Amino acid sequence: MYCKICGDTKNVKYYNRFGYFACKYCAKGTPAKVNKETFKKVYFGNEPVLNSILNEFYEDYKFSKHNLQEYIEKTISNY
């Protein structure tokens, strides 16, 4: 087992609120995540998106230390 956020193998356990294994340190600082359908609606809105793209973005979000709003701010740039 390893932490899906930082990769550490110490003090790792399964957290239901994330749906994956995390170390104590990362679990403490990581907010609960929204489900994939909610993520899709908020992140992509009504824009069509390939499942492969959705899955890649959702996995990146899920294993980040950000809530949804923070993740959106860090991954969407306004030109």
Same domain, 37 and 12: no
The per-residue DSSP string of the chain comes to ---TTT---SSEEEETTTTEEEEHHHHHH------HHHHHHHHHTTS---HHHHHHHHHHHHTSS--HHHHHHHH----
pTM for the full predicted model: 0.83
Are 24 and 49 found together in one domain?
Answer: no
- Its domain, for residue 38, covers 31-79
24 and 35 co-located in one domain: no
Query: 30-72, pLDDT tens digit by residue?
Result: 998 999 999 999 999 999 999 999 999 999 999 999 999 999 9
Instruction: State how many domains the chain has.
Output: 2
In this structure, are 41 and 26 located in the same domain?
no
